[in-house]
């Protein structure tokens, strides 16, 4: 099965495959762009990011799980997944605390959608990664440290 999937993608080429998916209406890029948080993405500090999201009083939540490497294998593409088990999750943002522009991504979760997103972000140094979740009109947050190291020595 998996080999079949890989062969299919090799055959069509990643970009083509994505175009097919987009045309089929599975990814609505226009919708995401409509909610562009300009101030947030241009903020240089976490406090400003939170302000732009309206999340300055976000409460720590154990119902948010961040799946990310403890030590990044490649700082240029760090895989981050966020699962929110909070009912009525509406939005999930990924924030890398020490990045020059900390807000890496914001996802709007459609009505009734599963609170799960997965992305890859670039990180230049060891930092906490925050998941900021909007659910039922309130904000919640969880953090996980991702270490960026020079490597070597085993």
Partner 1 sequence: MSITRREFLQMLALAAAYGAPLGGNRARAAAAASNLYDLPKAGGNVTFLHFTDCHAQLLPVYFREPDVNIGLHAARGRPPHLVGEALLKHFRIAPGSALAHAYTHIDFEHAARTYGKVGGFAHLAALVKRVRAQRRGALLLDGGDTWQGSATSLWTRGQDMIDASKLLGVDIMTGHWEFTYGAARVQEVIAKDFAGRIEFLAQNVKTLDFGDPVFKSHVIREMNGVPVAIIGQAFPYTPIANPRHFVPEWTFGVQEEALQKVVEETRKKGVQAVVLLSHNGMDVDLKLASRVSGIDAILGGHTHDAVPEPVAVRNRGGTTLVTNAGSNGKFLAVLDLDVRGGGVKGHRYRLLPVFSNLIEPDAEMADTIRRMRAPYERKLSEKLAVTEGLLYRRGNFTGTIDQMILDALMEVKGAEMAFSPGFRWGTTILPGEPITVEHVMDQTAVTYPHTTVTAMTGEAIKNILEDVCDNLFNPDPYYQQGGDMVRVGGMRYRVDPTRKIGGRISGMTLNGKPIEPGRTYKVASWAPVAEGASGEPVWEVVARYLRSKKVLRPVTPNRPALTGVTGNPGLSG
Q: Which residues bind partner 1 (CB under 8 A)?
A: 2, 5-6, 67, 69-74, 79, 126, 145, 147, 149-154
Min dist CB 104 to partner 1, Å, is: 19
Judged by DSSP in three states, 45 sits in coil
Phi, psi for 114 (deg, rounded to 5)? -75, 140
Q: Which two tokens stand for residue 128?
A: 């906490």
CB of 74 to partner 1, least distance (A): 7
- Nearer Cβ to partner 1 (6/28): 6
Nearer to partner 1, 28 or 147 (CB): 147
CA distance 84 to 66: 9
What is the nearest approach in angstroms of partner 1 to the Cβ of residue 31?
Answer: 26
- The SS3 of residue 85 is coil
CB of 83 to partner 1, least distance (A): 10
Task: Report the alpha-carbon distance of residue 132 to residue 142 in Å, rounded.
Answer: 7
Cβ contact 99:76 at 8 Å: no
- Smaller CB separation from partner 1, 60 or 73: 73
Residue with tokens 């732009």: 52
Judged by beta carbon, residue 2 or residue 29, the one nearer partner 1 is 2
């Amino acid at each position: 099965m998996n080999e079949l999937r890989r062969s299919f993608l090799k055959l069509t080429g990643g970009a083509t495959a994505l175009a097919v998916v987009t045309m089929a209406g599975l990814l609505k890029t226009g919708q995401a762009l409509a909610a562009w948080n300009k101030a947030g993405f241009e903020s240089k500090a976490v406090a400003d990011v939170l302000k732009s999201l309206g999340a300055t009083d976000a409460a720590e939540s154990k119902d948010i799980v961040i799946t990310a490497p403890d030590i990044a294998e490649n700082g240029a593409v760090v895989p981050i997944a966020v699962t929110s088990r909070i009912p009525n999750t509406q939005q999930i943002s990924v924030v890398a605390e020490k990045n020059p522009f900390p807000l890496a991504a914001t996802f709007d979760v459609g009505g009734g959608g599963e609170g799960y997103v997965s992305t890859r972000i670039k990180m230049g140094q060891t930092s906490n990664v925050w998941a900021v979740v909007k659910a039922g009109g309130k904000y919640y947050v969880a953090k996980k440290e991702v270490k960026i190291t020079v490597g070597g020595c085993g």
